[in-house]
C-alpha cells in the first residue's frame, strides 16, 4: 500500500519538463522556457521514464524525437496537464477576487427583511458572482449542503461558527389586525391569550414553538392555541393581516404593517428581545473573496440605510 501511494504521489513529477521537450524538440530550449538548467530537465525526464518503464525520447547529438511510447504519453498527458493548469487558474481566481457561485441558506422570513434590498445592488456591483439563496427554515449543515454561509437568528447558531451581525436585537411582538380585534375580548395580560385564536409556528424539528414573553424580568413560555399552524413567518404574517388570529412575530417583519395600521401591537410590556439576525460561516481561513465581499456589502447597505433614516429625521425635525 505504501509503495502504491508513493507512485501516485510522484505521478506528475517531470511531466511539465517532458511536455516542454516534446514541443521544443530540444532539451536546452525546454530548459530556457522553464527557467532551469538543461541538466535539471534531463534528470526530470529520466526519472519520469524510469517511473513509466519505457523510453519517451530518442536522443542523438543533433536532435531529439519521441518514441512510440513518448507519443502515446504526450497525446494523453498534454490535454490532461492543460486541464490541471486551467483548474489551478480557476481556483486561484476564486481566491483573488469576488467570483463564482455564492450559496446561502436563509430563513424565509429573512429574505424580504434583509436580503431583497441588498441582493440587487450586490449583483450589480459584483457581476462575476452568482448568488443562490436556499430559503429554508431548517438548520442545514453548511459543509454537507455545500453552502458558503447561512443566516439565522442568533440563538440558533452553533458555537463553532464565526458570526457576523446583520441586524440589531429586536422585539418579538404580538400583533393582530383591527378586524380581528373588533370581534374579540381585549388582550391585557398573558392569561387573556387563552380566549384568543393564536397563529402557531412549527419548527423544523417538528415541535410547535411556544410563545415567549418576559414577565417581571423572567422569561415565560406560553403554549397557545389556534386554528392555523404554519412553517414560516411569512404565512403567519399573511394570516394575521387577514384577521385569522393573533401572531407573535419579529418586530421588523411586522414593522410596515404596524406603521400603516393594518396591524396593532399588543402586550408590549411582555415583549421579549431576540438577539438579532446573524450571518455565520465555518471560519476566517475558509472565507473566499465572494463571501467577504457580500458581508462587507450587507454591512455597507445597513450603514447607508441608517444614514438615510438619520438624514430624513433631521430634515423633518427642521
Whether the CA torsion 134, 137, 142, 148 is positive or negative: it is positive
Please report the pLDDT score of residue 64 as a whole number. Answer: 85
* Phi then psi dihedrals of residue 118, to 5 deg: -100, -25
CA distance 246 to 176: 5
What value, to the nearest 5°, has the Cα angle with vertex 181 and ends 175 and 187?
Answer: 70
Please report the pLDDT score of residue 106 as a whole number. Answer: 86
**pLDDT digit string (tens) for 131-177?**
998 887 777 778 778 899 988 877 667 777 888 888 889 999 999 99
Strand partners, 175: 247, 265
CATH fold of 2-96: Arc Repressor Mutant, subunit A (1.10.10)
What value, to the nearest 5°, has the Cα angle with vertex 305 and ends 114 and 142?
Answer: 30
Please report the pLDDT score of residue 113 as a whole number. Answer: 66
| Of residues 153, 151, 156, 167, the one with CA closest to residue 281 | 151
Distances (CA, A) of 55 to 5, 48, 70, 198: 23, 9, 7, 82
Please report the pLDDT score of residue 80 as a whole number. Answer: 84
| Of residues 256, 195, 203, 272, the one with CA closest to residue 226 | 195
Alpha helices by DSSP H, listed for the chain, are 2-9, 15-24, 27-34, 38-52, 68-96, 110, 116-125, 142-145, 178-181, 233-241, 251-260, 289-317
* CATH 3.40.190.10 residue window(s) in the chain: 100-165+280-317
Helix pair angle (38-52, 15-24), 10° resolution: 110
| Of residues 208, 211, 188, 190, the one with CA closest to residue 274 | 211
Strand 247-250 relative to strand 170-176: parallel, antiparallel, unpaired?
antiparallel
* CATH 3.40.190.290 residue window(s) in the chain: 170-274
| Of residues 67, 147, 64, 43, the one with CA closest to residue 105 | 147
**pLDDT digit string (tens) for 235-245?**
999 999 999 99
Distances (CA, A) of 151 to 32, 109, 146: 53, 11, 14
Please report the pLDDT score of residue 309 as a whole number. Answer: 40
| Of residues 190, 247, 187, the one with CA closest to residue 213 | 190
Parts of the chain with a pLDDT under 50: 1-7, 304-318
Please report the pLDDT score of residue 317 as a whole number. Answer: 37
CA distance 68 to 19: 15
* CATH 1.10.10.10 residue window(s) in the chain: 2-96
Select the CATH number that applies to the domain covering 100-165+280-317 from these four: 3.40.1410.10, 3.40.109.10, 3.40.1280.10, 3.40.190.10: 3.40.190.10
Please report the pLDDT score of residue 63 as a whole number. Answer: 77
In this structure, whether the domain defined by 170-274 belongs to CATH 3.40.190.290 is answered with yes
Output the pTM of the full model.
0.59
Amino acid at each position: 500500500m505504501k509503495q502504491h501511494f508513493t507512485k501516485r504521489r510522484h505521478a506528475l513529477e517531470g511531466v511539465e519538463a517532458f511536455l516542454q521537450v516534446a514541443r521544443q524538440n530540444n532539451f536546452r530550449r525546454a530548459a530556457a522556457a522553464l527557467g532551469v538548467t538543461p541538466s535539471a530537465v534531463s534528470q526530470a525526464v529520466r526519472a519520469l521514464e524510469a517511473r513509466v518503464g519505457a523510453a519517451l525520447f530518442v536522443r542523438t547529438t543533433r536532435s531529439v524525437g519521441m518514441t512510440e511510447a513518448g507519443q502515446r504519453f504526450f497525446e494523453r498527458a498534454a490535454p490532461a496537464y492543460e486541464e490541471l493548469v486551467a483548474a489551478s487558474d480557476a481556483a486561484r481566481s476564486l481566491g483573488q477576487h469576488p467570483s463564482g457561485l455564492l450559496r446561502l441558506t436563509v430563513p424565509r422570513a429573512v429574505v424580504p427583511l434583509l436580503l431583497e434590498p441588498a441582493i440587487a445592488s450586490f449583483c450589480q456591483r459584483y457581476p462575476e458572482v452568482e448568488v443562490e439563496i436556499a430559503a429554508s427554515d431548517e438548520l442545514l449543515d453548511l459543509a454537507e449542503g455545500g453552502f458558503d454561509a447561512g443566516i439565522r437568528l442568533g440563538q440558533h447558531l452553533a458555537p463553532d461558527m464565526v458570526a457576523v451581525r446583520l441586524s440589531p436585537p429586536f422585539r418579538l411582538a404580538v400583533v393582530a389586525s383591527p378586524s380581528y380585534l373588533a370581534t374579540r375580548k381585549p388582550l391585557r395580560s398573558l392569561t387573556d391569550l387563552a380566549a384568543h385564536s393564536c397563529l402557531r409556528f412549527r419548527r423544523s424539528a417538528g415541535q410547535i414553538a411556544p410563545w415567549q414573553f418576559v414577565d417581571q424580568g423572567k422569561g415565560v413560555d406560553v403554549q397557545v392555541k389556534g386554528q392555523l399552524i404554519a412553517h414560516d413567518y411569512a404565512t403567519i404574517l399573511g394570516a394575521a393581516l387577514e384577521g385569522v388570529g393573533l401572531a407573535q412575530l419579529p418586530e421588523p417583519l411586522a414593522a410596515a404593517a404596524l406603521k400603516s395600521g393594518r396591524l396593532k401591537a399588543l402586550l408590549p410590556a411582555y415583549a421579549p428581545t431576540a438577539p438579532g439576525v446573524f450571518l455565520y460561516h465555518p471560519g476566517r481561513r475558509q472565507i473566499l473573496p465572494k463571501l467577504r465581499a457580500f458581508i462587507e456589502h450587507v454591512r455597507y447597505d445597513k450603514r447607508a440605510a441608517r444614514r438615510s433614516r438619520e438624514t430624513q429625521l433631521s430634515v423633518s425635525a427642521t
